[in-house]
Amino acid sequence: MSKEKKTALSNGVMLNAYPDSIGIKLSDAIEMLQKKEFKDVFSLFYILPTFFNSDLDRGFSIIDYNINKKLVSEEDLKTLNKLNIALKFDIVLNHLSVASRQFKDILKNGEKSKYKDFFINWNTFWENNGEVNKDGIIIPKKEFLDKLFMRKSGLPILKVPFPDGSEKPYWNTFYQEINYDKITVEDLKSVENLSVTEKEEICIKLNNLENKEEILNLDYDNNLKPELLKIVNAKKSFLGQMDVNAKSKLVWDFYEETLKKLSDYGCSILRLDAFAYLHKEIGKSNFFNKPGTWIYLNKIKKIALKNNLTLLPEIHAEYGLHLHDEVAKEGYRIYDFFLPGLMIHTIEKKNNKAIIKWINEIITKNYQTVNMLGCHDGIPVLDLKGKVIDGIYNQGLLEDCEIEDIMNTIINRGGRVKNLFDAEGNKISYYQVNATFFSALGEDEQKLLLARAIQLFMPGIPQIWYLDLFAGKNNYTAANKGGTGSHKEINRTNLSKDDIEIGLKKKIVLNQLKLIRIRNTSKAFLGKITINKSKENHLDIIWNNKNDFAHLTANIETLEFSINYSEKDTIKKIKF
């Protein structure tokens, strides 16, 4: 790794965007980074996984890890390297798309497929540990089912149709999308003893059914229903993020191949998406099972070291579980998912107590973090909670009522809530709130600028969501379209080249760029951080490194702040 990229991992600021978030392809984002306004602003670029070939969840359902040539070129990677911009990518450890070559091979060859055990057949996994229901799906025993950690309502399965007409349930923790083409009279040609008019009426009814299984409840001859269901299923197409079976050697061969490929693309930091769901064991929660998760992490770490990659495990869990502490103690960088909610709480309540507690923990325990305000996902709120473990309550970073206040504030400003469910579809907890960070702050430019300044003075690598940089507002049109993950689209508006040009004339954008440039270039941030004593409605943070310093003083109540810093043997001051 070059000296510049090593420094970036300690001191640099990271842009975060999809390949087509700016303009229509990655080269447009690179063109933006080459503008004079962006000189020395970013040292890293976290490019989200539509960089690869994918088909669902905007990139997180990977078909393969080859470059998506519609959005990215080899020349783009060469240009980023010339700009000394290090790259961060994702590997989605827990799942692959049904359109992956591995799953397609199973669909084609069934039990004879080389990849038969690459994914998890739900019924095979739970065999002899539950009862088969009327749909042929094993329902695990209650003591097992109650322990499962669900990311969506109902069982985490996708029923997959095979060429022989059978359907098999496969483990599908995250998203799936099932679509049906319209049924026409021509499709019903095999159905005998029906007039054209009757067939037209049946087509209307079938096409209006949201749940096609409801065919069995329609007022038709019972002999007709199975044939109609067969016709409907023939018109079915589906997408899904299918959980891989980490007990399979072929899965680990795939990881070896993938990490080598990503390193060759120029990856420096590798985010391990959904890694905590990878280990599955009967009688455990299927989320951060121990010691299985640690065993898998260590195996990935060995592959990463061979390819000169820094790992960043992505994990959302209550602060009170202290999983962030366990992961950090094992020598991994951790995502600071606590900061977004803490930042909103700090600014809205005009109180520094909670955020200073977290900063001091980072310093004391020497956590190596990547922090953020907004991102491609939501604003985390579950992460701030406490947790009861073995009958003892472990304090959260905020009280439940304070977290509810954050959620209500964002929702009242147009945000959407993402919840967690049990196996029966009952809500068990909130998870995150979806909004742009600017809208979450009431679209107040001074609040956004103060939040950015505080983020940039936090320990760790600051990650900047492209839309926050341009003070993007909630996109209700996109969020209201429905479909899988539509709530997330509220904060994923693509910006055109014209949007960038207009944005670069706005003070909120130019002032953020000024702040980011200081953070990205000052050697002070390679040194030591000190939190000076202050009133609860103030923040006073200073970084020192030999003769270099950067000093933030902020009045959280009035939102005014100033930064004194050294630059080439001179002392400068900016005030907002």
CA angle 258, 241, 248 (to 5 degrees): 55
| Angstrom distance (rounded) from CA 42 to CA 13 | 5
Q: Which of 57, 314, 377, 402 is catalytic?
A: 314
Placement of tokens 């061979």 in the chain: 306
Band (pLDDT 50/70/90 cuts) for residue 423 is: low
Mean pLDDT of the 112-131 span:
97
pLDDT in tens, 35-58: 999 999 999 999 999 999 999 999
Q: Which amino acid, one-letter code, is at 406?
A: I
User: Looking at residues 181-196, what average pLDDT do you find?
Assistant: 90
pLDDT of residue 429: 60
194 has a pLDDT exceeding 70: yes
- Concerning whether 273 is annotated as a catalytic residue, the answer is yes
* pLDDT score recorded for residue 557: 97
Strand partners, 150: 421
> What's residue 8's pLDDT?
61
pLDDT surpasses 80 at 442? yes
pLDDT single digits (tens) 381-416: 999 999 999 899 999 999 999 999 999 999 999 999
Dihedral sign from CA coordinates of 312, 315, 319, 323: negative
Bridge-based pairing of strands 392-394 and 387-389 is antiparallel
The active-site residue, picked from 28, 273, 336, 377, is 273
Provide the sign of the torsion angle of the four alpha carbons 169, 244, 150, 91, taken in this order.
negative
Maximum pairwise Cα distance, the chain: 93
Q: How confident is the model at residue 2 (pLDDT cuts 50, 70, 90)?
A: low
The pTM is what? 0.92
- The pLDDT value recorded for residue 4 is 59
Kindly state the helix (H) or strand (E) to which residue 199 belongs, with its residue range: helix 196-208
pLDDT digits (tens, 9 = 90+) for 313-329: 999 999 999 999 999 99
For residue 225, what pLDDT is reported? 81
Both tokens of 139, joined, read 């329902």
Q: Do 123 and 138 touch, CB atoms closer than 8 A?
A: yes
pLDDT digits (tens, 9 = 90+) for 529-559: 999 999 999 999 999 999 999 999 999 999 9
Amino acid at 221: D
> Would you place residue 368 in the very low, low, confident or very high pLDDT band (cuts 50, 70, 90)?
very high
Burial of 148 per CB tally in 10 Å (0-12, 13-18, 19+): middle
Q: How many angstroms separate the CA atoms of 339 and 532, rounded?
A: 19
Q: Cα–Cα distances in Å, from 256 out to 48, 59, 303, 483?
A: 20, 21, 6, 34
Q: How far apart are CA 524 and CA 554, in angstroms?
A: 19
Closest CA to 71 of 51, 46, 48: 51
Residue 173: the pLDDT is: 95
C-beta separation of 436 from 474 below 8 A: yes
DSSP 8-state secondary structure symbol assigned to residue 530: E
| Bridging pattern class, strands 461-465 and 14-17 | parallel
Helix axes 339-349, 400-412, angle to 10 degrees: 80
For the record, the structure tokens of 458 come out as 């936090």
- Give the mean model confidence (pLDDT) for residues 347-361: 98
Whether 568 has a pLDDT exceeding 80, the answer reads: yes
CA–CA distance, 119 with 245 (Å, rounded to integer): 5
% of the chain with per-residue pLDDT over 70: 96
Assess whether pLDDT exceeds 70 at residue 138: yes
What are the pLDDT digits (tens) for 460-518?
999 999 999 999 999 999 999 866 678 899 999 999 999 999 999 999 999 999 999 99
Above 90 in pLDDT, residue 273? yes
- Give the burial string for 3-33 (b: 16+ CB within 10 Å, else e): eebeebbebbbbbbbbbbbbbebbbbbbebb
CB atoms < 10 A from the CB of 388, how many? 10
Query: Cβ of 442: how many Cβ atoms within 10 Å?
Result: 14
- Using alpha carbons, list the distances in angstroms from residue 511 to 445, 449, 507: 10, 8, 6
CA distance linking residue 350 with residue 284, whole number of Å: 42
- Give the span between the Cα atoms of 485 and 447, in whole angstroms: 28
